[in-house]
């Protein structure tokens, strides 16, 4: 019998410190730049202060990109622009430094960690630190079979928890979460449709490399068929991940929950991370308070999931490549918010600071000094 009790996360996860957030808001009121003039950067700075329980907020100095990788059997239905079982090529590009996220991470000096959960390749093809958490070789075809066994789903979930603990223990102060998969957006669409009670056509997008109309119709059919299998297990989130998810999605869900336990902020990337976040919210309702959405990917399932969680994306640049790329672009915005919140000076005390017109207020003794120097 499993010893994993998902209900424990509800008790373990606390919201970011509301008292500290109020202190951060009060400090912002005292700063020289008028409140509201920095737009959403004000909210970001206050959110970070609450997450860190620190006023002024500390700078983000040790961010990391974490990518959970896997192949999905549903890709065999030609629902992706990439051939089934080829996610390892994407992983190699990340490791070789030639993928978009690798290029950006190098420019921003942010380390990237890839965690293979279910790639359809020989584990010997990849470094040992990438494959050490692997649960299986490829996840099942979710329209006709479960993506994982119950034991595999639990193992993947626990692996995600372990990765979150490793990151927190190593001093990571913010995570950019993404995925490297083929067929992953289809599984994500099924999870979102199941949890939001919508039809397949409402959540089915065209993926990171846009597919044509025929492939989109095949993808809709695949989501519809998997959705029929998902509905009977909606009350059990781990079983839902086993039935219509995959090892990478189960791991990302465990990772998100444990990051909230460890008070590690996370920036979500695209539809896959949003779908996992939605599952995690069903497990622990306070967990989304620890997450940001880095960008709007254009996938309808992502928009549906974020709307359900009341999370507004930071950017809308149409980046759909996945792999954490869009969320990594938002990192600079988060770091800027932290810097502004911490470093903008406060106004001097009443009567001794700047006047409304920006000129220094007259200081005590100035009038006498002027009289002495006049006539």
CATH architecture of the domain with residue range 63-335: 3-Layer(aba) Sandwich (3.40)
Q: Active-site residue among 145, 323, 343, 350?
A: 323
pLDDT of residue 350: 55
> Mean pLDDT of all residues in the chain?
92
CATH class of the structural domain 18-57+345-373: mainly alpha
Which of 46-55, 326-335, 340-349 has the least mean pLDDT? 340-349
Which of 65-74, 164-173, 203-212, 246-255 has the least mean pLDDT? 203-212
d(CA 272, CA 321): 12
* pLDDT band per the 50, 70, 90 thresholds, residue 196: very high
323 catalytically annotated: yes
Query: 175 vs 168, 220, 329, 331, CA distance in Å?
Result: 10, 32, 13, 9
362, pLDDT greater than 70: no
Q: Determine the 3-state secondary structure of 336 from DSSP.
A: helix
pLDDT of residue 359: 44
18, pLDDT greater than 50: yes
- For residues 271, 274, 276, 279, the Cα torsion angle rounded to the nearest 10 degrees is -120
Q: At a CB cut-off of 8 Å and minimum separation 6, what does 248 contact?
A: 68, 69, 70, 117, 118, 139, 156, 179, 181, 184, 272
Q: Determine the 3-state secondary structure of 113 from DSSP.
A: strand
Q: Determine the 3-state secondary structure of 273 from DSSP.
A: helix
* pLDDT band per the 50, 70, 90 thresholds, residue 352: very low
* pLDDT band per the 50, 70, 90 thresholds, residue 361: very low
Domain boundaries, the chain: 18-57+345-373, 63-335
Please name which of 255, 279, 283, 266 lies closest in space to residue 9, comparing C-alpha atoms.
Answer: 283
- For residues 177, 78, 146, 150, the Cα torsion angle rounded to the nearest 10 degrees is -30
pLDDT of residue 318: 84
pLDDT of residue 2: 64
Q: Determine the 3-state secondary structure of 266 from DSSP.
A: strand
Which of 121-135, 172-186, 333-347, 355-369 has the least mean pLDDT? 355-369
d(CA 271, CA 184): 9
* pLDDT band per the 50, 70, 90 thresholds, residue 49: very high
Q: Determine the 3-state secondary structure of 138 from DSSP.
A: coil
What integer is the mean pLDDT of 332-343?
A: 95
> Which value, in Å, is the radius of gyration of the alpha carbons in the chain?
24
pLDDT of residue 320: 85
pLDDT of residue 3: 77
3-class SS shares of the chain: helix, strand, coil, % to 5? 55, 10, 35
* Triad 63, 286, 153: Cα angle to 5°: 75
pLDDT of residue 363: 43
The strand pairing partners of 130, in sequence order, are none
C-beta separation of 31 from 337 below 8 A: no
Half-sphere exposure of residue 87: CA atoms within 13 angstroms, side-chain side: 35
Which pTM does this prediction carry?
0.91
pLDDT of residue 224: 97
């Amino acid at each position: 019998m499993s010893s994993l009790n998902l209900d424990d996360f509800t008790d373990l996860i606390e919201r970011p410190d509301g008292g500290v957030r109020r202190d951060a808001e009060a400090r912002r009121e005292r700063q020289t730049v008028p409140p509201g003039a920095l737009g959403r950067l004000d909210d970001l700075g206050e959110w970070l202060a609450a997450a860190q329980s620190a006023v002024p907020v500390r700078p983000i100095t040790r961010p990391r990109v974490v990518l959970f990788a896997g192949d999905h059997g549903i890709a065999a239905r030609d629902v992706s622009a990439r051939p089934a079982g080829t996610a390892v090529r994407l992983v190699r590009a990340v490791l070789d430094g030639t993928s978009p996220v690798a290029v950006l991470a190098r420019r921003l000096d942010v380390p990237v960690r890839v965690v293979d959960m279910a790639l359809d390749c020989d584990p010997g093809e990849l470094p040992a630190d990438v494959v050490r958490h692997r649960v299986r070789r490829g996840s099942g075809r979710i329209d006709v079979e479960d993506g994982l066994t119950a034991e595999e789903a639990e193992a993947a979930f626990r692996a995600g928890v372990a990765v979150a603990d490793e990151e927190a223990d190593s001093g990571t102060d913010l995570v950019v979460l993404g995925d490297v998969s083929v067929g992953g957006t289809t599984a994500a669409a099924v999870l979102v449709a199941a949890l939001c009670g919508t039809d397949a056509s409402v959540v089915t997008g065209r993926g990171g490399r846009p597919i044509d109309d025929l492939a989109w119709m095949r993808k809709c059919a695949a989501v519809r068929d998997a959705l029929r299998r998902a509905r009977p297990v909606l009350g059990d989130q781990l079983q839902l991940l086993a039935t219509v998810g995959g090892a990478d999605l189960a791991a990302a869900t465990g990772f998100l929950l444990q990051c909230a336990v460890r008070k590690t902020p996370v920036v979500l990337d695209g539809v896959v991370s949003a779908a996992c976040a939605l599952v995690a919210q069903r497990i622990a309702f306070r967990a989304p308070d620890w997450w940001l959405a880095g960008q709007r990917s254009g996938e309808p399932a992502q928009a549906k999931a974020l709307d359900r969680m009341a999370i507004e994306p930071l950017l809308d640049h149409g980046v759909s490549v996945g792999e954490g790329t869009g969320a990594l672009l938002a990192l600079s915005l988060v770091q800027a918010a932290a810097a502004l919140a911490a470093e903008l000076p406060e106004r001097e005390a009443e009567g001794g600071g700047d006047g409304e017109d920006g000129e220094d207020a007259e200081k005590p003794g100035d009038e006498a000094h002027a009289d002495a120097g006049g006539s």
